[in-house]
Amino acid sequence: MIDKLERILATARAIPPGRVTSYGRLAMHAGFPRGARLAVAALRGADDETVPWHRILRADGRIAFPPDHPHHAEQAQRLRAESVMVRNGRVDLGRFGWRVDAPDLLLPPD
């Protein structure tokens, strides 16, 4: 399980500033299709300084934290600092989504 979590975190670190992805796509790019919950678990214990958690959103582009949660405002602020437009807690994935040309080149196989 640790190796799976590390693969997901390594993939999250590859998301460039100004781009976002969903939990499910993050897991898919790490080699775990249908692994959105695994991505959530990996990010839950991640180091805030080395993993850009703020670049990962729900599949519909919404911030996963409730609007009254402090992390909601922090995530929106971090995204705006990277020139990502956040409106009503949502990001346009079509405009700001991370495009991976060759996801199998991101990480070595197990």
Domain boundaries, the chain: 2-98
CA distance 70 to 66: 9
Least confident of 10-14, 46-50, 62-66: 46-50
Q: Give the CATH fold of the 2-98 domain.
A: Arc Repressor Mutant, subunit A (1.10.10)
- State the pLDDT at residue 45: 80
| pTM: predicted TM-score of the whole model, two decimal places | 0.87
- State the pLDDT at residue 2: 66
- State the pLDDT at residue 105: 45
pLDDT band at 109 (very low <50, low <70, confident <90, very high): very low
C-alpha angle 19/95/40, rounded to 5°? 45
Task: Provide DSSP, 29-94.
Answer: HTT-TT-HHHHHHHHHTS-TTTS-GGGEE-TTSB-SS-TTSHHHHHHHHHHHHTT---BTTB--HH
- State the pLDDT at residue 100: 79
Instruction: Give per-residue pLDDT as tens, 57-76.
Output: 999 999 999 999 999 999 99
pLDDT band at 33 (very low <50, low <70, confident <90, very high): very high
